Amino acid sequence: MKYKDAIAAGAMAFFTEKYGAIVRVVDVSGVSLELCGGTHVPSTGQIALFRFTHETGAAAGVRRIEAVTGPGAYALIRKLEGELEQAAGALKTQPEHLVRRIEQLIEENKKLERRVEELLKGGTGKGEEGRVEQIGDVELHIADSDLEDREQIGLVMDAFRASHKRAISVLFTNGERAGVHVGVTDDLVQRGVKAAEIANAIAAVSGGKGGGRPHFASAGAGDAAKLGAAREELLRWLETRRPAPPAELRAHLESAVTDAELALPDHLAELGRRVLARVADQPSGERELALELLTADALVTYAFEAQAEADPAGLTSLAARIAGDER
């Protein structure tokens, strides 16, 4: 019948863009009256293969399906079979075992995620409990571990760096891949501390060497039996290379000495007060850092650089007093 007559009779037209002047009308008495937008054939044999490709909701209570038929359906099936074989090949299994292989990988991934979570909580694997040394304003964490996978060790170091400030982690590993691994927090990297330099200095005692980045480095042990001596070398080496304070605080120290023309050590207390005054209007983080660095170590080292004739013993006493008074 004509399109306009069907619409006038109340037929629903779901696909207005698909109808011509003459339409077919499907009438289910008392249930539905609508225009047919599909293809009519004398028998399903003419359609041959029929492959669903999509399904959507066309209206309330109405579903719209899309499919390919005949040669198009056959081509689609062949394409999907090819992709299935590629996926199976990538996972090193047969297509009929692909689902099981995926389930295995999901389970393995869950185990790895749990392992990573344990590592990120700061675990270092089995080994002796670590110790912490204080070198100036820097914390040195030393531990032994049975970890051998460098990626896992890297995760341990990332977790350490994320949870500490002004700190260095040195991890000694035994086993077939004995060596030393060093992690340095970002604030110390900015002050010139390099993990690779530390790792190489330690490993050199055992005849080993390595490399890495400023915040994480590893070095193999040439002779694992000498790692104990390397541990002692670590403390000695770091004592001679204390990191400089941040450039901003050092500038405050130098300016305070220059402005007041102070003769150290007699006026070290005044120097400390002037430095604190200069950072009083700075963000709280910088003020806290200045307070923490105004210790005997920091003041003795850098005030002594400014006034070479100063007496180290006197500076230590006065700086300790400043640290106690100002805190």
How many angstroms separate the CA atoms of 218 and 206, rounded?
Answer: 14
Tokens of 283: 């963000």
Residues of the chain above pLDDT 90, percent: 14
pLDDT of amino acid 185:
92
When pLDDT is averaged across residues 151-165 and rounded to a whole number, the result is 84
Confidence at 147, pLDDT banded by 50, 70, 90: confident
The more confident residue out of 261 and 158 is 158
pLDDT at 322 over 80: no
Q: Enumerate the domain spans of the chain.
A: 1-43, 74-118, 131-239, 247-326
Q: Which two tokens stand for residue 206?
A: 């055992």
Cβ-Cβ contacts under 8 Å for 69 (sequence gap 6 or more): 47, 48, 49, 50, 51
In this prediction, residue 215 carries a pLDDT of: 92
pLDDT of residue 143: 84
> Has residue 263 got a pLDDT over 60?
no
What is the pLDDT at residue 290? 54
pLDDT at 252: 53
Average pLDDT value for residue range 2-8: 86
Residue pLDDT, tens place only, 63-76 = 888 889 889 999 99
> If phi over 0 gives left and psi between -120 and 50 gives alpha, with beta otherwise, what is residue 29?
beta
Q: What residues form DSSP beta bridges with 171?
A: 143, 181
Torsion of CA 153, 156, 161, 167, to 10 degrees: -80
pTM (2 d.p.): 0.44
**Predicted local confidence at residue 117, as pLDDT:** 64
Q: Is the pLDDT of residue 102 over 90?
A: yes
Q: What is the mean pLDDT of the chain?
A: 73
- What is the average per-residue pLDDT within 82-107? 93
Q: Identify the pLDDT of residue 36.
A: 79
> At which residue do the structure tokens 């900015």 appear?
190
Instruction: Report pLDDT digits (tens) over 182-217.
Output: 999 988 888 788 888 888 888 887 777 778 888 999
CATH dotted code for 131-239: 3.10.310.40
Quick check: 243 and 193 in contact, CB under 8 A? yes
For 57, half-sphere exposure in the C-beta direction (CA atoms, 13 angstrom radius) is 3
Least confident piece of the model among 95-99, 104-108, 274-278? 274-278
- Give the closest residue to 153 by CA, choosing from 193, 199, 207, 104: 199
Query: Around 5, how many Cα atoms within 13 Å sit in the side-chain half-sphere?
Result: 7
pLDDT above 50 (res 162): yes
